[in-house]
Structure 1
């Protein structure tokens, strides 16, 4: 049986947002809680990757870890490798906390569409790639570690080195706004005005 672990990225500095996005609220739930539920619906286990100073703010029920010492604070790839090393699995479902409109229906659909032979399955639309909502195979660990050891922290550059499958986001949800990153509080308000 394939073991699937969710990696919830919740350690960004949130400079543009003004406060840690993990604890921003939408419809009575914190962003990280929404992401956690979206992952927990399809994963055998979920681990949250965050920063030391935020650890105590998460629910005591959740497993929260920090980046490995040698790559602490070095962005999403560092968080993903830290999650892969912390939790043994066959596949990893990556989701950042600042995509609060992604829910269990979207994670289930991506899982259904993912090609098991791809190293990474992620999404795009006609205007942008959305690389951090995706399923990563354990095979990527060695290349990921090599990139980070070499100081290569760019997600897209890493994805070019492995077998990445891009699925059009419309196959998962017709509204591309569901997959946007909320980078500033007024991004969230725009979501409300659009009915999300």
Structure 2
């Protein structure tokens, strides 16, 4: 195993959201007959030796091969989810995504690993900043060494995930740089509402029919 693989060999799937806009627990969605979290984890395991599922319902994953953990701080959103995942991560960096983001681009992950390696792992976070200035907190790598920063945010009652960026060093990936991975599906599609979910599955069915 190369240094690059050892340093970035953990993936975290956050699965503990309240799903208030969807009106039901999005962990229960199925893609290709698999619960969405397991579907994502199965894809991620091709590039990561450790896949961590952070969930508020660990019993849903009683028979899975993956490490299943609950938030170390309850009801605190993605800040607590990432903090928990980093606590259990075995490698120096962890790739973080949410369970309501159905697209995983393995070529993008490989590219981002290579980018960090060429950068000599100088930054705490590697994440995408879109052309409009919006930072995408998911589909990015987070260094285990920022676990204390996340913990301090929780202690200070800071729940907004983007508040972590001024507190650490970040290498922002330009949106233009990820255009080459568009064929893998839009990684940042988020199934927040019932309309989002209906639209996604309609597109999936149309793709199968072609």
Q: So what's the TM-score if we normalise by structure 1? A: 0.86
Deviation at 1:156, TM superposition (A): 0.7
CA contact (8 A) 2:105 2:187 kept: no
The aligned counterpart of 2:182 is 174
User: After superposition, where does 1:32-111 map in structure 2 within 5 Å?
Assistant: 32-51=37-56, 54-58=57-61, 59-68=63-72, 71-111=73-113
The aligned counterpart of 1:157 is 163
> Structure 2 regions of 5+ residues with no counterpart?
none
The aligned counterpart of 2:115 is 113
User: Across the two proteins, how many residue pairs are aligned to each other?
Assistant: 192
The aligned counterpart of 2:23 is 18
The aligned counterpart of 1:7 is 12
Aligned-residue Cα RMSD (Å) equals: 2.2
Structure 2: distance between partners of 1:163 and 1:79: 20
Q: So what's the TM-score if we normalise by structure 2? A: 0.80
Q: Does 2:144 correspond to 1:141?
A: no
Structure ID, larger Rg: 2
SS of corresponding position for 1:177: coil
